[in-house]
Structure 1
Amino acid sequence: MEYEDLNKQIGNKLRYIRKRRGLSLEETAARTGVSKPMLGQIERGISNPTVGTLWKIANGLHVAFSTFIESERPDVQYIDYDRLEVLQGEQGTFHVKPVIPKNTETPFEVYYIELDAQDEYFSQAHPEGVEEYLFLTEGELEVHIKGRSYVLKTGDALRFKANHDHTYRNKSNHMARCTMIIYYSSS
């Protein structure tokens, strides 16, 4: 899928959700903290929204992040790593590859995450009931949650309730890579 196609898909999903809920762009902006002009550009498929912007929209509308990128679920699905789309963080140093999107059949979504050397990424709190599972596959990653730091080395894992702001920090001189599962409880 090309960036243009992904942008159009994200825009179409956003417009569908907004209209289904009877929300104006202004009301959606108030709920999400994303400006009305930016929402309009996203809906028209002319803006390439950052990971942070999509999280704000997802949280404000109380939908899974992957809602904007999900497609129909086949019985068997082969996922070619080299063909996965990359979503960038605000500074372009936090790279997200959506692997398995959440849909009506799965209460979770899976991502490959890369964080450049000597960089960090701040994530706003997710809605109540959302948990994150991190599996560090390469490098070292420090995760800050509720005033505590957890240092993960290659092979380590971390699970946490994600309804608090959290920060991922790579203090090393090498790329940090992990697999992230975001689980949405049924409550």
Structure 2
Amino acid sequence: MTTEPAPPLATIAAALRRERQRAGISLTELARRAKIAKSTLSQLESGLGNPSVETLWALGVALDVPFSRLVEPTPPAVRVIRAGQGPRVRSEHADFTSTLLAAGSPHVRRDVYVIALEPGQVRVAEAHTPRSVEHVVVAAGRLRAGPGTDLVDLDPGDYVTFPGDVPHRYEALTPGTFAVLVMEHP
């Protein structure tokens, strides 16, 4: 059994402070909008705690920024992320791990992730920022993904795209499932 590295807490803390200040809102207001406890947000801005994917998505939606802007430090000109490395964040509701590979620039809001899933709990995602779109290519295993009414089963090499601004889900149908996820944000 391998141990997951800690989320990039210092990066998350700095990003939350930066984006909250950019938005011109208080800690209390951001906590209210994200529907999380003010004490949780205060801990995260202090570099403490262990934020889940769901908490970071809620904060991203409340701040109107992509998830990636909260977890990725400023990248160097040439960047390599080896398999199994990179900023990983686990879901608290399913065996689902998201690894950010590349974040879009402030003018090109496109983020690239590798997602790893195991059969069992389904990863249910709330709606992301308005007009966001998800693109998924399965690399290994079998995956069921999409909005609740339009789920599709995918095999290695299959591609699906769907609106990210509606509730959607990811479910591994076989062990060792992983895929590349590209998130577009308007």
Q: TM-score, structure 2 length as denominator?
A: 0.90
| Identity level (%) | 26
Structure 2: state its 5+ residue gaps: none
**In 1, Cα distance between equivalents of 2:33 and 2:83:** 34
CA contact (8 A) 1:119 1:171 kept: no
CA contact (8 A) 2:138 2:180 kept: yes
**Residues 10-19 or 39-48, more deviating:** 10-19
**In 2, Cα distance between equivalents of 1:147 and 1:80:** 36
Given candidates 158, 162, 165, the residue that maps to 2:164 is: 162
**In 2, Cα distance between equivalents of 1:100 and 1:166:** 22
CA contact (8 A) 2:93 2:122 kept: no
Residue correspondence of structure 1 range 36-185 to structure 2 within 5 A:
36-91=38-93, 93-172=95-174, 174-185=175-186
CA contact (8 A) 2:129 2:185 kept: no
Shift of 1:116: 1.1
**Residues 10-19 or 133-142, more deviating:** 10-19
Shift of 1:149: 1.7
Match of 1:11 in 2: 13
Match of 1:35 in 2: 37
> What's the RMSD between the two structures over aligned residues?
1.8
CA offset digits 1:90-126 (Å, max 9, x no partner): 1461111111022225320000001112331010011
**In 1, Cα distance between equivalents of 2:118 and 2:180:** 15
CA contact (8 A) 1:67 1:103 kept: no
Shift of 1:146: 4.3
Secondary structure in structure 1 of the residue aligned to 2:15: helix
**Residues 114-123 or 157-166, more deviating:** 114-123
CA offset digits 1:8-64 (Å, max 9, x no partner): 110111112212333222111111112111101101111120111100000111101
**In 1, Cα distance between equivalents of 2:75 and 2:41:** 27
CA contact (8 A) 2:102 2:113 kept: yes
Aligned pair in 2 of structure 1 residues 93, 146: CA closer, same or farther (>3 Å)?
closer
Structure 1: state its 5+ residue gaps: none
Residue identity matched to 2:116: E
**In 2, Cα distance between equivalents of 1:69 and 1:7:** 8
Secondary structure in structure 2 of the residue aligned to 1:168: strand
**Residues 62-71 or 72-81, more deviating:** 72-81
Residue identity matched to 1:8: A
Shift of 1:3: 3.1
CA contact (8 A) 1:86 1:98 kept: yes
Shift of 1:144: 3.8
Aligned pair in 2 of structure 1 residues 123, 24: CA closer, same or farther (>3 Å)?
same
Residue identity matched to 2:134: E
